[in-house]
Every structure is written in C-alpha cells, then in structure tokens.
Amino acid sequence: MVLSWQIFTTTFYQVPCALESSARTQHSAWCPGGGYTISVKGLKQLLTNPVYIGWWIVAGDVISQNNHERIISEEDEHLFWFAFERLSSYTTSGEVNEQKEYKRPRRFYQRHTKDQKTALLKDRAAFPGGEVLVHIYREKPHYTLIPSYAMRPTGWKEVEAGLVDDGFLDCFFAHLKETHDFAAFQRWIEQETTKQRGVVSSIAMQLTQLEQKQESLVDERLAIRSQIRAIKDDKERAQFEAEMQPTLDTLSQKVYQLAQVKEKLLEKQEETAKNQALDTARKYATFQTELYHLVASWDEKPFKVRCEFVNLFVTRSEITLPASHFVQLVISWAHPGWGADTLYIFRKHGASPYWTQPERELIRQHYPQTAREELLRMLPEKTWDSIKKEAMGKHIKRTIATASPIPENLSWSDWQFMQEHNISYEDVCSKREVVLALYP
C-alpha cells in the first residue's frame, strides 16, 4: 500500500500551518473511497515516524533502512523528511531536533486611545510595612496593599481607588474652603525661594573658588615646566625633570579631582534651580483668588493636572484596613497650616470575600449550636450574612436561635472598631460608601 501524497503537494510546503489546514480538510478530499478522516495528532505521528518509509529503529539505533514494505514511495520520501525536520521533537539518532518549527503565540497590543484615569493619590499612597500599587480591575482603578517581601505570596488587599479618592477630595475641598488667608502659604513659598537662592548662591561661590584653585594649580605646573625648559644642559634638565615629576603628578591629580567636584556642583546647581515642586508652588502663589473657580471646575481639568495639584499639597497618604469594612486614610499635608488628617471610610464590600478551609471547618463544627456572637468572634472578618450563606451552601442547618447586638451586615472587627471610635450604626446605613469621620 502506498499513501497518497496529495496533502504534501497542496499544503505541507507551508509547515507548520499545514496541520490546522489538514484538520479542516473535507472528508471527501481525504477519503474519496470512503472510510474515516485522520486527526491532527495522528497526521503528526505519521509524518514523524520513519517506520512508514521502511526503517527499523531500536533505542535510537537504526537497525535497517529497508526492513519492511514502505507505505511512502521513494519518489515522495523527500516530502516526508521535509515534514519530519519541522515537526519531530527528536532526530532519528535520539538528539533534540533544533530545526523544529514551533508555532509562535499570537500577541495583541492595545493602542493608546485615551487618557487612562487611574488614582489621584498614586504617587503619594503608602502602606505600613509594604507598598501600594495601582491596577485596573473591571475597568476601575484599585489600590493594592502589598505586605513586606517575606509575606508577599499572601495578604494582598484591594481598595477601590474611587472610594478613597472621593473621601480625600471631600477633606481636601473642606480645607480649601476654610482657608481664606493664604499668608502662611505665601510665607512658605518665600522661605523655600530664599532657601533655593541661598543654595544656588553657595554653589556659585564654591564654583568660583574651584576655578581659582584650578588656575593656581595650572599656573604652578606651567612654572615648573618653564624651569625645566630653562635648563640648557640635557643631563641636568633630565635630572631636574625626574625630581619634579612626582610634584607634577600630584598637581595633575588635584586638577582632576577639582574637575570632578566641579561637575557634581554644576549638576546640583542645575537640579536646585529646576526645583519642580517649588515651580509648581509659584504657579499657585495667587491661589486664593482662584480657589472657588478651582473647586467648581475640578472635574473639567485634565487628570494629569489634578494629580500634579494633589502631589503639591500632599506629602504622604497612608492607607490601612483596621476592620473588614473600614478603610483608614491618614493624609500628611505639605501646607504648613493643615498638619495631618485621619479619615475612616466605610465600604459595603469587606476585605475578606473568600473563605479558607479552616474557616469552613469552623462553620461545619460550630454553626449548628454555637451562639451567634461567639461564632462572630471566631470569624472576626465575616458578617452574619456571609456566615449564613456559606452554611446554606454547605447544607448545614442551625438548630438554635440566639440574638446579638451586632447587625447582620457587620463583622466582629467592624463592631469593635465602631465601639472604639464611637461610630453609630446609623452612620453606616447610607446607600453608598461614605466618609464617616474626620479626625484632625
């Protein structure tokens, strides 16, 4: 029996795409006389097994190249080797086939179509003992609180950036509307400007002194060279030059060191003169006259401009999760009269939406007959609503009924936090996430 090589003459000069094309070939094209079609895997095995050209191979050794009747004719054998070299993972000697062509994965790139709004506090956000990154999840930016390197595999928490930014803006605008006299701000700008000018002046003075030292060293070297050239006797001149060579080397070294110091001072002078924060502050030196216009047109300004403005007034914004449904935001202001503020923000979705196996085991053991408040204490990050849903999903029934002052949509950690900070349940019954308290 000799295999028909129609597939080679039509498709296999386009390896490796030929396999997909062959798998889609119609039944009639493959089997004009009836029968079944060949699979992609079967076709690949057929084209990478020398047994079909009469070879007999045992443990990587070719025993015979004419052991039995071949099903691929000698005229078409070059087509077999053409496919073998591109499809087989190993050669006939058992070595890795470096000529095999692998199908490259398809890559897709998203074009930059518009400004991506991320998070206002991205450049100022901090997390104690870790770091804060911003990523997009379901088309919304989130602050991701990542613990220290030793605990990186676990403990990641996420907070919707819009929730934190809205609370921040409420506090920010409140400060702006209350600050009618910007004399302190003006004084701060004047102090920073004076400080900047003092640094630039000091650097300029140091550069002048350096240039004078460099000129003095160069003059000293030239004087020594002149003395050497003034000696007419070759032997005496050579002896004097050898004696003065260490002095010349020392002078050259000093000139080189001064040049390095000068280069660093020039860099520092340029960096000080281009103080970005101070330049931005100067832009808003007359801010009090534009205050109400800014608040009214805040949403109309480009997002990048808003971020620059926030970076000017905020030195650090620390985000923590003191309870499952509360976010704590500590804002350190650059404005000398604002100090620091602490915001407690309530959110509807908790910090622990997933259940671990030990938590499920607690549900199985204690849900039927343990008092509600005691069970909440065992699972401090879970609400009674979530506990009931988890038990219902596991078909665990409760055999007792006990009351608790903790609402069903709050966890034990939430309740303890509210008691500690004197926050009432009415404060958290809003239809949306809100800033509950502002503690100066």
**pLDDT over threshold 50, residue 17:** no
What pLDDT is stored for residue 276 in this prediction? 58
SS3 402: coil
The CA distance from 423 to 434, in Å, is 13
pLDDT tens digits, one per residue of 170-214: 888 888 777 555 566 667 767 777 777 788 888 888 888 888 888
SS3 318: strand
Phi and psi of 137, rounded to 5°?
-135, 120
**pLDDT over threshold 80, residue 100:** no
Those residues whose C-beta lies under 8 Å from the C-beta of residue 359, and which sit 6 or more positions away, are 379, 382
Those residues whose C-beta lies under 8 Å from the C-beta of residue 4, and which sit 6 or more positions away, are none
**pLDDT over threshold 60, residue 408:** yes
Cα 310 versus chain centre, distance: 21
Which sequence spans correspond to the domains of the chain?
6-87, 183-280, 357-439
The CA distance from 147 to 153, in Å, is 9
- The residue that leads in pLDDT, 66 or 397, is 397
What pLDDT is stored for residue 180 in this prediction? 54
Residue type, 300: E
Other C-beta atoms lying within 10 Å of the C-beta of residue 314: 21
pLDDT tens digits, one per residue of 250-269: 888 888 888 888 888 888 87
Mean pLDDT taken over the chain: 78
pLDDT tens digits, one per residue of 211-236: 888 888 888 888 888 888 888 888 88
Alpha carbon distances (Å) from 273 to 204, 283, 348:
12, 16, 48
Cβ contact 341:438 at 8 Å = yes
Radius of gyration of the chain (CA): 39
Region of 311 on the Ramachandran plot (φ > 0 left; ψ -120 to 50 alpha; else beta): alpha
